[in-house]
Structures are given as C-alpha cells and as structure tokens.
C-alpha cells in the first residue's frame, strides 16, 4: 500500500508559519561566548510559530528529571505554546530550585524577545548534569537567535546543530500529506547519541506497563489544524512505536523530551481521533518519529551495527517487551553483534534470564535483511538449524539486519531498535578526567 | 572482633578425606585428546570424598538451564553425594534430551570408575552452548582422572585448571575453625570470568525477591559433620551474600552451580541451625563464598576496576537491591569507572530510572578505600559537595574502591560487587568469527 504522505525537505520549517534559528553562546563557558558563530558549534536553538499553536509533549519517566522537563510538563498540559528554546552543553539537571528558576527565566527571556506570552514558551536542555546554566550567556544567545530567525533550510540546520551533543550527523525529516481537504506538513529534528533508552510519558509519570529505560530531544512542527488533545493522542502512539522502542545503552536520561507544535496554518477541517483524517495524520507522524528514532540508533555513541529485534510468540505483550529488551541490552549479545557473530547461545541465555516465560525447545532464532521476510534460521525449536556457517556469517555481516526471535507459545509481539556494543562506545564514555567539567552526565 | 576461623592452604583437599584431580581430554575436540597433559589446558575435573557425604547446592534460575544443572537439582534434593565430575569447554546447554542423557552418562562413568553409586555423583559443565559433549573424550578423561586422584595441593590445582575458561587466575581458598569440639575445615574452588550476574536458588526456581541476573562454578568441600538440610541452609545464606551479589556484565548464565559436600570426617558433634556452632560454621562458609565471589569479579573478562556499591537508606530491601544493581549494571556508570571519572550525574541518572523510589534532593554519593568508613563525598543531599576535584579523582583512581550511595529516606541496604566496562571486555567478547565452533556461549 502506497503511504498517504511523501517526504519533503525543510524539516521544522517545512510547515507554514514556523521560524527557526541556532547560535553559539558558549553554554559550556569555554571562552567568553562573545564574537562570531563562525567555526564554533552552535549551542542555543529557537523554534517559533508565527501564531499561537496547539502543543503536545512526551517526557522522561526518570525520577531524576531535569528542570526544563518539569517546566514543560506543566505548560504542555495547557495544550498551547508558540516557541521552544533549547540548549546543548548543559542539561540543567540535578540543579535544585536554582535550576527551576533558570529554566523559567530562559523561557521568560525568549518570550520577551519574541513578544509572546512566557507561558507559551517551552524549554529543553541537554548536556552536563549538575552544573547550573550560565544565564548571562543564555540571555546573550536568545537575543542573538531571536534576531536571526528565518524559515530557510539553513535556519533549520542551525537549530539542529545547536541541539547536537555527541551526535555526528544532523537528524531531520519532513513529510507532506492531504488532510481535511488541504495539504499539510510535519517536520521534525532530533538529537541522540548516548544515554539512550527512552521511556517517555505525557506526564513524566511512569505507567505500570512502560519499560524502565536517552538524552534525546525531538522537536516536531506541523501546520495541520488539530486540537491539542488529538495531537497528544497521536504523539503518545507515535512515540510508543518509535522513541520508546530504541535502545543504545539501556540508560534512560533525565532530559528526554519530545515536543510538538501545531499552528493550524494548513487550514484543514479539524478532526477527531476516530476519523479517517486522524489515521492519515497518525501515519505521517508515525513515519516522522520512527525515521528520527532510527537515526538516533544509527548515530548512537560508538555504534557500528544496528539490529532490529523482532520478537514474536510471547505469552503477553509485557513479556514480549521484556524478552526483546533483555536481548537488546545484553552486553554479551551486543558484543557478538559487533563481532559479526551469529551467536544464538547468548541470545538463548538472555531470553532465559528475562522475566518472560520461555520454553527452550520451542524457540526459533534467525536473521534477515532489514524488513525482509527471507529469514536464515540459526535455531529452530531450540536446536541448531542446518544453515551453513558461512550463510549465518553473511546474515549478520551487514551494518543493519533484523534478528527474528519466535518463542512459539503465544501471540504477543515486540520490536526493539537496538545497537551493538563496541570498543568505541567504551573509549568515548570513559571520559576525559583531566577536565573537571566532565563530572556529570 | 577476631574471626573464629583462619585461612589455610590446600583448598578442596584441605578437609580430610577428599581427593581431587584434573586432566586434559580435549572436550573442545581440537585434536585427538590422546597423549600427555603436558602443555595442554586441563578440561575435566574430579572431586571425590572417600566416604559418602551430605550434599547441598545452588543453581542458576535461568529458564534455559543446562543438562548437568537439571541432573544436580534432582540429586542434591536427596541430600547425599560422594563425587563431582566437571568439565570446561562445553556447557552441555541447549542440547535437548541427548544432553540430559550425556550428563547422566558422565556421572555413570565416574561412578563406575570410583566405585560409588551413580546417584551419588554430581555433574557440572561450562563452555560453549548448543554443542553436544564428545562422550568418548569425556569417558577417556574420567578414566584418566580417576587414576590420578590425590590430596595434595597439586591435585587441587589440577582440578581448578580443569574448570577454568576465560579465567586468567586460579581461584581457591581454605579455612579452619573449631566446631562442636573439633577442628574442621572448609575448602573451595571456583571459576568465573564472563556471563556473570548469578541469581541462584536451591531448586533452580526463581523466588519472587531474587534478582534476575555468570557461568560460575564453585565446588566446596568440608569435613564438618553436618546434616544436609543444615548445610543447605548455610549455603543458601552464604550464596545470597556472595555469588548472588556479584555482577560483571549483568548476564546470568545457563550453568551457574555451587555444590557443597560435607563428609563428617572432623567428627564434631552435629548441630542445628539455631546453635552457636552453626553461627561459627556459617561465618566460615560466608568467608569462603565471599572471598571466591570477589575473586570472580576481580578476574572478570576485561575487568580493570572492582567497585563495591554500598547502597543505604532505601525504602525496602527490594528497592535497595534494584537501585544498587541499576548503578552496577549501567554501561555509562561502568565506563566512567574505567575512565577514573567520579561522575555522579550518571549515577543519579541510573538511580532515577531504577524501579526504586528516590528523592533527588536527599541523595548522597561518595567514595572510600575498600571497607573504609573515611568517605569523600561528591554529592550531598542532591547537590555537588565541596570535595576538591583532585581528591575525587584520587578516590576513584585505585583498582578497587567502594561507592557509597545513601538515598536517605528508609532503612534498607544492599551491597553489590561490581566491575568496570572496558575496551578489553568488548574485544574479548566480540569473538572470533573465523571459528565455526565459537557459535554459542
């Protein structure tokens, strides 16, 4: 079936009525923060709708939750916003009451410069934990960014660069589709790299069923006319099937945030969650979120191979999830992926110590190209399959492949987008102890 | 307080009436398995009591449970045994009905050669998963080992070598103490290295409270006169405080086994679980198990630094356990230990996504020398402490240190013996894919 949307350039400024910008203001305080942006990695982004927009969000369920996340949870609940101010280099997490004041002040300064209500400005941060924000630099950055806003691809690129931390590549996507009689657009940008196994909810509270495990930030803009509650419903579903299904290292960050703004400039007829228009919008949003989520895994710290774990035949959905995550987060399984080793013994071991019920003699394990149904089986019903050794090696040699696990005693399924564990991950994360500012996340 | 025991040499042959031996019989089938043991790593061990002994055991709670574990669970339940036959190079796991027949045949052959009842022989295996045992080689090995049994330190060393896999050092201990009016001894040997986060129980079934996470094998001998049930009670407690509290990589093996044989040759008065004699025996057994467990962490695959996570002030014991394990198994925390980085941000992040309830503004984090109460605090009540950066660096520089975490809102505590995550771990475990026999664990 042909999807009801097509990809377009422009990401967050593809939808009508959105402006973006990103500047360098030295959030890490390496120098004075003054002077030109040239040759310096930008660290402060603004995303602005020309008119007030419906807002929705999903937030880390980590109990240690950064100040900007607390501010956003409160503000998104009102269902309206007009701007996002975000910085990299400092997470504003574990910063106490001062941190909360700083996050609100960041929004306040942006509101003043953009001439919008302070309540309508959302805030996001990523970077070091436990260090208070250099508010003079932040203020200087917001002033500069507000003056440089625009709706070209270059402006979007500057915003992307400003939220990147250990990311090596910009992550962006835009789609266009017909909804309620009009062409509408969704654009998204994100950052990821380390501390990646998001488990987000709309309230920051952890639902019983939610997995326990990035800093990842994602900002989505759309010109669709959609009520905040409908937007939130679509975002819940899209995040559940994308960002909440990825893992780089199994660590959930204090700052994970997805924000979506919908300014209605497409002037489509508004729709409810049971309409066919909703299904079209949902499909487009799902595509945006899944594409961005997969870019995060692909560009995870030290990641060489990306593996989609497709688990089927579990007794319950919770068990399918638990079994898939046990495999996806097992250091021994992840190092075997790095080594290009079709090691089913380690997969069986991980399944066996997961909370899911499994019957050893029923388990199938196999490999395919991404999305393909042509599976090379290494294990069938708990016994080594007859696939030649070299075919198995070939199946796990590509930089991306699917791992198929069938427990064969139930109907529940789960998909987890996972990555290998490499020497590069360790080398990157062991850090630079000669730098006192490296203390923190 | 002076302990009621002293360390002695001889490990498993230190207690009277025990014999040991280890030979090479080429379990990995790299050659013919014939010829001299000289220059070859031994791979089959025998441990024998001259007289029938009381027996106790603790076994992996992994649902994918190796054939020898299944055999031992059945036999230990009877409370009696006289010999242990163990091999490295092949785990006899995921080997179906054939594997179960092979494990029993291994015991049968040993029984015949040693002239004891087959039911009184226990079996243990470690090595590759999913490959059936080369029974001809196993038989040849048992015949050879039975002829070379002895009670010298060299015999014990040969048994230790035979169970080693990726271990780089032999792991052994012996203690002597006075109990029931007589001198008694406990000796123990073990192997570890990878797939290390045991969660063992006496039945192989997982108690609700038990953590979900080595191949580790441990064999304990004692000449104390003790009833099997009393021995099992002491072993439950000793393992709960030692092997079940270590983690190298968070993966629980299919083969984890601790076996204890007590032949009564000390001729002490028998004692019950509420006696002062039991307390003395327990203290000695605790020391043996904890010393061996710590040797496993110290010699874990690629391990550079050993960190004892001492968590206090949790609301419940289960939460203390969960919080300590979340920290001990976080790749970001473990890589920071490798880097000698006193990174409290990553520790807070791990605590925050653990199932334990925590209040950010109450948490203390600090470091000390192993077992010392002189703590350098990096975080006090959720805020960076005033310790100079260089003092913190010095605190995490040694190859062993204690990490103190106080949640300060309850009375429950937990200790986990953990290790760093290094490039060497990844390099070792990514495996050698040019070797078809490397498939499996």
pLDDT 10s digits, A168-195: 999 999 999 999 889 999 999 999 877 7
Which chain A residues contact residue B125 at CB under 8 A? Answer: none
Q: What is the pLDDT of residue A201?
A: 77
Interface confidence, given as ipTM, is 0.86
CA closest to B301 among chain A residues: A332
Q: How far is residue A266's CA from residue B197's CA, in Å, rounded to a whole number?
A: 55
Which chain A residues contact residue B430 at CB under 8 A? Answer: 335-336, 338-339, 341
Q: What is the pLDDT of residue A2?
A: 65
A382 has pLDDT over 80:
yes
Residue A122 sits at φ, ψ, to 5 deg, of -100, 155
Q: What is the pLDDT of residue B365?
A: 97
Q: What is the pLDDT of residue A299?
A: 92
Claim to verify: residue A232 and residue A313 sit in the same structural domain: no
Q: What is the pLDDT of residue A439?
A: 39
Cross-chain CB nearest to B349 (options A251, A341, A436) = A251
Which chain B residues contact residue A336 at CB under 8 A? Answer: 429-431
Mean predicted confidence (pLDDT) in B331-335: 94
- Last residue within a domain, chosen from B245, B273, B298: B298
**Residue contact A355–B249, C-beta within 8 A:** no
Name the more confident of B436 and A272.
A272
Among A146-160, B65-79, B379-393, the minimum mean pLDDT is found in B379-393
A208 has pLDDT over 60:
no
Mean predicted confidence (pLDDT) in A125-139: 94
DSSP annotation of B120 reads G
**Residue contact B349–A254, C-beta within 8 A:** yes
- Evaluate the CA torsion angle A91, A94, A97, A98 in order and state its sign: negative
B208 has pLDDT over 50:
no
Mean predicted confidence (pLDDT) in B162-173: 94
Distance from the B346 Cα atom to the nearest Cα atom in chain A, whole angstroms: 5
Mean predicted confidence (pLDDT) in A96-123: 97
Q: What is the pLDDT of residues B273-285, one digit of tens each?
A: 999 999 999 999 9
Claim to verify: residue A94 and residue A28 sit in the same structural domain: yes
- Last residue within a domain, chosen from A267, A298, A329: A298
Q: What is the pLDDT of residue A200?
A: 74
Claim to verify: residue A44 and residue A124 sit in the same structural domain: yes
A441 has pLDDT over 50:
no
Confirm if B71 and B103 have CB atoms less than 8 A apart.
yes
One of B95, B215, B221, B247 is an active-site residue; which one? Answer: B215
Which chain A residues contact residue B250 at CB under 8 A? Answer: 330-331
Mean predicted confidence (pLDDT) in B40-46: 95
DSSP annotation of A430 reads T
Distance from the B190 Cα atom to the nearest Cα atom in chain A, whole angstroms: 21
Q: What is the pLDDT of residues A314-333, one digit of tens each?
A: 999 999 999 999 999 999 99
CA closest to B394 among chain A residues: A433
Q: How far is residue B253's CA from residue B239's CA, in Å, rounded to a whole number?
A: 16
Mean predicted confidence (pLDDT) in B257-271: 97
Claim to verify: residue A110 and residue A226 sit in the same structural domain: yes
Cross-chain CB nearest to A339 (options B94, B344, B433) = B433
Cross-chain CB nearest to A130 (options B93, B344, B389) = B344
Residues 6+ positions from B103 with CB-CB distance below 8 Å: B67, B68, B70, B71, B92, B123, B125
pLDDT grade for B439, boundaries at 50, 70 and 90: very low
Q: What is the pLDDT of residues B340-352, one digit of tens each?
A: 999 899 999 999 9
Among B248-252, B320-324, B369-373, the minimum mean pLDDT is found in B248-252
Mean predicted confidence (pLDDT) in A231-237: 97
Any domain includes B433: no
Name the more confident of A375 and B165.
A375
Q: Which domain CATH number covers A223? A: 3.60.70.12
Helical segments of A115-241, H only: 135-147, 153-163, 228-240
Claim to verify: residue B315 and residue B167 sit in the same structural domain: no
Which chain B residues contact residue A361 at CB under 8 A? Answer: 96
Claim to verify: residue B293 and residue B329 sit in the same structural domain: no
Chain A, chain B: beta-carbon pairs less than 8 Å apart: 238
Any domain includes B12: yes
Confirm if B319 and B411 have CB atoms less than 8 A apart.
no
Claim to verify: residue B287 and residue B377 sit in the same structural domain: no
Name the more confident of B359 and A197.
B359
What average pLDDT is seen over chain A? 91
Q: What is the pLDDT of residue A30?
A: 77
Q: What is the pLDDT of residue B210?
A: 40
A32 has pLDDT over 90:
no
Any domain includes B319: yes
Which chain B residues contact residue A195 at CB under 8 A? Answer: 332, 346, 349
Claim to verify: residue A21 and residue A105 sit in the same structural domain: yes
**For a pLDDT cut of 70, what percent of chain B falls above it?**
93
**Residue contact A212–B252, C-beta within 8 A:** no
Any domain includes B76: yes
Q: What is the pLDDT of residue B35?
A: 64
Confirm if B107 and B122 have CB atoms less than 8 A apart.
yes
Confirm if A40 and A214 have CB atoms less than 8 A apart.
no
Any domain includes A439: no
Q: Which domain CATH number covers A390? A: 3.10.20.340
Q: What is the pLDDT of residue B200?
A: 74
| Number of domains chain B contains | 2
Among A27-36, A278-287, A352-361, B90-99, the minimum mean pLDDT is found in A27-36
One of A60, A215, A254, A308 is an active-site residue; which one? Answer: A215
Among A85-99, A200-214, B147-161, B365-379, the minimum mean pLDDT is found in A200-214
Cross-chain CB nearest to B382 (options A94, A355, A393) = A94
Mean predicted confidence (pLDDT) in A6-21: 97
Which chain A residues contact residue B91 at CB under 8 A? Answer: 345
Q: What is the pLDDT of residue B421?
A: 95
Confirm if A13 and A19 have CB atoms less than 8 A apart.
yes
Q: What is the pLDDT of residues B86-131, one digit of tens each?
A: 999 999 999 999 999 999 999 999 999 999 999 999 999 999 888 9
CA closest to B356 among chain A residues: A63
DSSP for A117-141, please give it: -GGGEEEEEEEESS----HHHHHHH
Q: What is the pLDDT of residues A236-255, one digit of tens each?
A: 999 999 999 998 888 888 89
Q: What is the pLDDT of residue B207?
A: 52
**Residue contact B251–A440, C-beta within 8 A:** no
**Residue contact B439–A212, C-beta within 8 A:** no
Mean predicted confidence (pLDDT) in A388-394: 91
CA closest to A423 among chain B residues: B423
Cross-chain CB nearest to B341 (options A254, A336, A431) = A431
CA closest to A208 among chain B residues: B355
User: Around Cβ A408, how many Cβ atoms within 10 Å?
Assistant: 17
Mean predicted confidence (pLDDT) in A274-280: 96
Tell me the CB-side half-sphere exposure of residue B367, using CA atoms within 13 A.
24
Claim to verify: residue A294 and residue A345 sit in the same structural domain: no
Any domain includes B439: no
pLDDT grade for A430, boundaries at 50, 70 and 90: confident
Claim to verify: residue A257 and residue A144 sit in the same structural domain: yes
Mean predicted confidence (pLDDT) in B301-325: 96
Any domain includes B326: yes
Claim to verify: residue A403 and residue A314 sit in the same structural domain: yes
- Residue A215 among the catalytic residues: yes
Q: What is the pLDDT of residue A137?
A: 96
Cross-chain CB nearest to B440 (options A94, A250, A343) = A343
For residue A398, what are the domain limits? 306-421
Instruction: State the pairing for strand pair A376-380/A200-201.
Output: unpaired
pLDDT grade for B145, boundaries at 50, 70 and 90: very high
**Residue contact B345–A426, C-beta within 8 A:** no
**Residue contact B331–A425, C-beta within 8 A:** yes
Claim to verify: residue B285 and residue B370 sit in the same structural domain: no
Q: What is the pLDDT of residue A211?
A: 37
Mean predicted confidence (pLDDT) in B140-159: 97
Token pair in block for residue B375 = 């703590």
Any domain includes B441: no
Residue A96 sits at φ, ψ, to 5 deg, of 60, -160
Token pair in block for residue B237 = 């407690």
pLDDT grade for B206, boundaries at 50, 70 and 90: low
CA closest to A436 among chain B residues: B389
């Amino acid at each position: 079936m042909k999807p009801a949307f097509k990809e377009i350039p422009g990401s967050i400024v593809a939808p009508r009525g959105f402006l973006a910008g990103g500047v360098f203001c030295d959030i890490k305080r390496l120098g004075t923060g003054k002077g030109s942006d040239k040759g310096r990695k930008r660290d402060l982004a603004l995303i602005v709708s020309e008119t007030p927009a419906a807002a929705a969000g999903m937030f880390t369920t980590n109990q240690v939750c950064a100040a900007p996340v607390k501010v956003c949870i409160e503000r998104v609940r009102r269902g309206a916003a007009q701007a996002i101010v975000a910085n990299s280099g400092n997470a504003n997490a574990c910063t106490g009451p001062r941190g909360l004041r700083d996050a609100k002040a960041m929004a306040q300064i942006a509101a003043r410069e953009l001439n919008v209500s302070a309540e309508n400005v959302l805030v996001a941060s990523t970077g070091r934990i436990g260090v208070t924000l250099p508010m003079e630099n932040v203020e200087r950055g917001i002033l500069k960014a507000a003056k440089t806003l625009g709706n070209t691809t270059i402006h979007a690129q500057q915003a992307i660069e400003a939220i990147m931390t250990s990311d090596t590549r910009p992550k962006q996507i835009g789609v266009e589709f017909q909804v309620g009689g009009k062409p509408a657009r969704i654009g998204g940008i994100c950052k990821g790299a380390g501390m990646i196994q998001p488990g987000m909810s709309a309230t920051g509270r952890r639902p019983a069923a939610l997995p326990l495990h990035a800093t990842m930030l994602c900002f989505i803009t759309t010109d669709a006319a959609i009520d905040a509650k409908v937007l939130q419903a679509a975002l819940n579903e899209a995040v559940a099937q994308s960002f909440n299904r990825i893992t780089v290292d199994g660590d959930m960050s204090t700052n994970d945030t997805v924000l979506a703004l919908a300014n209605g400039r497409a002037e489509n007829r508004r729709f409810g969650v049971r309409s066919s228009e909703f299904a079209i919008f949902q499909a487009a949003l799902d595509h945006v979120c899944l594409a961005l989520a997969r870019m995060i895994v692909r560009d995870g710290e030290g990641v060489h191979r990306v593996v989609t774990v497709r688990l089927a035949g579990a007794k319950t959905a919770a068990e399918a999830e638990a079994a898939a995550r046990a495999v996806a987060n097992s250091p021994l399984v992840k190092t075997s992926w790095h080594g290009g080793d079709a090691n089913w013994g380690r997969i069986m071991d991980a399944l066996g110590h997961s909370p899911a019920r499994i019957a050893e003699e029923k388990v199938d394990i196999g490999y395919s190209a991404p999305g393909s149904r042509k599976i090379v089986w290494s294990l069938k019903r708990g016994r080594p399959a007859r696939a030649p050794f070299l075919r198995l090696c070939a199946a796990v040699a590509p930089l991306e492949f699917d791992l198929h696990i069938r427990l064969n005693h139930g109907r529940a399924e789960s998909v987890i987008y996972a990555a290998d564990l490499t020497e590069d991950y360790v080398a990157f994360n062991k850090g630079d102890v000669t730098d006192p500012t490296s203390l923190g996340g």
